[in-house]
Amino acid sequence: MNKNIRLIVVDDHPVVRKGIVAMLETEDNLEVIAECSDGQEAVREYAQQKPDVILMDLVMPGMNGIDAIKEIKNIDSAARILVLTSFTSNEQVFAAIEAGATGYLLKDSDPENLVRSIEQVYHGESSLHPLIARKLLNEFTQHSNKDKNSIDTLTDREKEVLRYIAQGLSNQDISDKMVVSKATVHTHVSNILSKLQLANRTQAALFAIREGFVPFPNDLDESI
């Protein structure tokens, strides 16, 4: 039997939060272990329960979602956080990804997309709504000179790992494909982020798409 994905849902609107929880509980492999109405509560619950994935709203009273993401990442740098919000402003999108969010999904997404995004984040993959991916790619393109100089600092093996990251593969998947240890892959990923001055795998994936390491997703164009 597959292990259930343990979730914490964070949203300050009770009706919205209860609706999300009710929908998730219809999935056999998902288990909501806590609900939170603000960022401070989310940080406390994360520290106590260590869920597999946390769904995080951004705009909440008290501690907002961005600050909560930062606090949770300070507790556990490997925390898997999927932003689930209605807000698409550049400021919030960039801040969430920079803070360490693994994915960014909009509340008008289909339930199937939400479940798929949770599973992707759980497996260490990036998951971005197409509109959000486009915003981030545009931002990277506008600040590309430093990155283009940095690409030459990557070894061939690091470039290979970067391609796999852009394809959404987890460290274990990459380990299997390259026939190396998971620890070796982790070292390659850390080196890539450091050399390219990127904050996380999501930014690395977007960088790889922009640089042509993998084909540009057609659905980004179709969704805008």
pLDDT tens-digit readout, 125-162: 777 766 666 666 666 555 554 445 477 889 999 999 99
CA separation, residue 54 to residues 44, 67, 90, 91, 181 (Å):
12, 14, 22, 21, 28
First-to-last alpha carbon distance for the chain, in angstroms, is 40
**Residues 53 and 88 reside in one and the same domain:** yes
**Residues 104 and 30 reside in one and the same domain:** yes
CA separation, residue 184 to residues 28, 176, 178 (Å):
34, 11, 10
Can you say whether the dihedral through the CA atoms of 40, 43, 79, 198 is positive or negative? Answer: positive
Number of domains in the chain: 2
Task: Tell whether pTM > 0.75.
Answer: no
To which H or E segment does residue 99 belong?
Answer: helix 90-99
Greater pLDDT, 200 or 11: 11
**Residues 15 and 123 reside in one and the same domain:** yes
Q: Classify residue 137: in a domain, yes or no.
A: no
* Residue ranges making up the domain that contains 64: 5-128
pLDDT value at residue 78: 84
pLDDT value at residue 10: 97
Looking at residue 108, which CATH number applies to its domain?
Answer: 3.40.50.2300
Looking at residue 211, which CATH number applies to its domain?
Answer: 1.10.10.10
Residue 109 pLDDT level (bands cut at 50, 70, 90): confident
Greater pLDDT, 2 or 186: 186
How far is it, in rounded angstroms, from Cα 71 to Cα 73? 5
Q: Which two tokens stand for residue 213?
A: 């390491």
